[in-house]
Structure 1
Amino acid sequence: MSILFECEYQGLRYAGLDLPVAGERQTLYRVTEGRLRELFLAGGGPQAVRDALAATAETVEVDAEDPELRFLPPLLPTGSNNALVTGFMGTHRSKFPAPPAPDEPFHAPNWLIKGFGSWLKTQGEPLTVPASSVALLEEPEVALVFVNDDEGVPHYAGYTFANDLNDIGLHQQNPWGWTPYAKLCDTSMTPWLFLGEPPATVTGRIVIERAGATAWKGDFACGGDAIFQRVPDMVDNLFSYPAMRRPGLVNYLLLGSDKASWHDGFRIADGDRVTFHLESHGVVLSNEIAYAPAVERAASAGFAAFAPASAAG
């Protein structure tokens, strides 16, 4: 599998070829923000992108575990924040009574906006959730990465993996109204951009640790073969909306998740560590859950400044 990644090192942006290996030196290629996007839009396919990077004159050699090395979500525009994270819901076959017939008409799944690209966390960073969360659910998902050209035409760059953490307990209380609130939990994403078609099958294990010990574990599967709808139809339908085709926009599309720890009766707590071992692809995504302290009457305190003098008493 061909892989690219971007990172920051000593205040500068670099790109790398292939997965870093612990204990080995890694060659990084100096890039400016948007350089990889330009290479993908230039055409020529994944190999042309890799060849262009390999020809970069300015390089550094670093240890893969250097503390100054900070990996970034794939193609993230850190300057302009012109990136959007969205996701599909109810896509996996395990949530439907029967697989679709080959000639079954396409029915678009539910869809939601998760947030801006700058909201993404990556490997090792804490995932912050409201302290008022009812019941959290980790969701291992395939994330497709698209970059729009200057005319707004989306170009597929590759795929990576994400944890679409959400408050399923809140969602269950009001599935038709509170799901957007339930999704306002941090999302993590691996920095590795796999240069190829969306995967048919992704397999691995979820391990949730509490106080350093395994509290829950289970297997998972995702990818095209696990999804009820046809992925090209899902993508084509979404990009039929002009808002998704804004020039220069980077789109991260989360394809949905199967059942996980919540469905098994487990409840994630503050301080738990959730780790996805994506064994089919040789990568790991691990994050600690952090409950955010409540903000006392933040909005109403601001409104008080605009209250009429008589109302202030």
Structure 2
Amino acid sequence: MTVVFECVHDDKRCFGLGLPESGAPLRLYPLAGDSLAALLSAANGDREALVRGRSFVEVPADDRDSVRMLPPLLPAHVGDALVSGFMMTHNVKVDAEVPDQPNWFVKGLGGALKVPGESLSVPADAVAVCEEAEVVLVHVGDAHGRPRYVGYTFGNDLTDIGRFKQHAGHLSYAKLCDAGVAPWLHLGEPPRSVTGEVTVERSGAPVWTGSFTTGTDALHYDVPSMMSRVFSYEALHHPGRVHYVYLGADRGSYHAGFRVMDGDRVTIDVASHKVRLSHPLAWTRDPGRK
């Protein structure tokens, strides 16, 4: 399966192919004003067509820190991206009486997305925060604005689950934590099975670990039906707008009775797909307090 990523190197936006190997140089193709989303559409899944005739640079392994990874297909203007998701989608979370469509929420604009290594911001008055290891679908609005599926990646839909538990109507507030996202875009159908492990570190030492299972086989709902229902609303249609849709999570640290804290580091190791996301958590200061 083809994997692509975008980054900034020498103040230039570039893209690359594949999951970078540790200790290996990084081959980057400057976009030179092109849009990777447009290139993917023109290439129609042909990996060679993406790079044919394009110049490239090799970044030595010992200079990889000069490369800043970006969320997949993130627009130049973060307001042109919408981050959203579904809740209570997994078989382990639903009961006998469930709606035919899970609840959908808006998490923020493109600025809410943080790549591995960046801090995930948590509201100062959060009640009880929990990581959520998820598959993230990426769609791009076509010339008529209709969102078209491009591929998938993985993310951490950090959530103030305590606030939602206090008042189910406050889901919209509970979701206003930052979202972790892997930079690697997989150009294939959403994965059926995804497995891995979450580790929470405090003061540099592991304090909680737990496994997770996700992917379309773990969902109670049919993904194409979920997406077609949401994207039937013309309010979401705009040419070039990038949609990042989180598909919901297995049970996590909160359900195990653990509580994450300010300064903790949450690492999601998606072992089945060789992808790893690690983010420190940072509670924001309440601007109303001195």
- TM-score normalized by the length of structure 2: 0.95
Bigger radius of gyration: 1
Deviation (angstroms), 1:136:
0.4
Q: Is the 8 A contact 1:99 1:228 kept in 2?
A: no
Task: Please give the secondary structure, in 2, of the residue aligned with 1:21.
Answer: coil
Offset of residue 108 of structure 1: 1.1
Which structure 1 residue ranges, 4+ long, deviate > 4 Å from structure 2? none
| Distance in structure 1 (CA, Å) of the matches to 2:200 and 2:289 | 34
1:67 aligns with 2:65: yes
In the alignment, residue 164 of structure 1 is paired with which amino acid? Answer: D
Contact 1:221 1:258 (C-alpha < 8 Å) held by counterparts: yes
- Whole-angstrom CA distance in 2 between matches of 1:243 and 1:56: 39
Aligned to 1:167: 160
Distance 1:34 1:118, change over 3 A: farther
Partner residue in 2 for 1:254: 246
Q: Which moved more, 1:51-60 or 1:156-165?
A: 51-60
Give the share of equivalent positions with the same residue, in percent.
Answer: 47
Given candidates 81, 84, 87, the residue that maps to 1:83 is 81
What runs of 5+ residues in structure 1 fail to find an aligned partner? 101-105, 299-313
Show the counterpart of 1:41: 41
Contact kept, 8 Å, 2:78 with 2:109, in 1: the verdict is no
Q: 1:222 — aligned with what?
A: 214
Distance 1:291 1:80, change over 3 A: closer
Contact kept? 1:137, 1:167, Cα under 8 Å = yes
* Deviation at residue 41 of structure 1 after TM alignment: 2.9
Match of 1:130 in 2: 123
Of 94, 107, 132 in structure 1, the residue corresponding to residue 100 of structure 2 is 107
Q: Kindly provide the amino acid, as one letter, of the partner of residue 171 in structure 1.
A: F
CA contact (8 A) 1:25 1:62 kept: yes
Using the alignment, how far apart are the partners of 1:88 and 1:234 within structure 2?
A: 9
**In the alignment, is the contact (CA less than 8 A) between 2:140 and 2:241 conserved in 1?**
yes
Equivalent residue number for residue 50 of structure 2? 53
1:25 aligns with 2:25: yes
Q: Number of matched residues?
A: 289
Is the Cα–Cα contact under 8 Å of residues 194 and 215 in structure 2 kept in the other structure? Answer: yes
The amino acid across from 1:96 in the alignment is V
The residue number in structure 1 matching 2:134 is 141
AA of the residue aligned to 1:52? A
Aligned runs of 1:204-215 on 2, under 5 Å? 204-215=196-207
| Cα drift, residue 33 of structure 1 | 5.4
| Alpha-carbon distance between aligned partners in 2 of 1:34 and 1:263, rounded to the nearest angstrom | 45
- 1:164 offset after TM fit, Å? 0.3
State the Cα distance separating 1:279 from its structure 2 match: 0.4
Give the TM-score of the pair, scaled to structure 1.
0.88
Q: Superposition RMSD on alpha carbons, in Å?
A: 1.8
| Structure 2: gaps of 5 or more residues | none
Check whether the contact 1:3–1:17 (CA below 8 A) recurs between aligned residues.
yes
Q: 1:189 is matched by which residue type in structure 2?
A: V
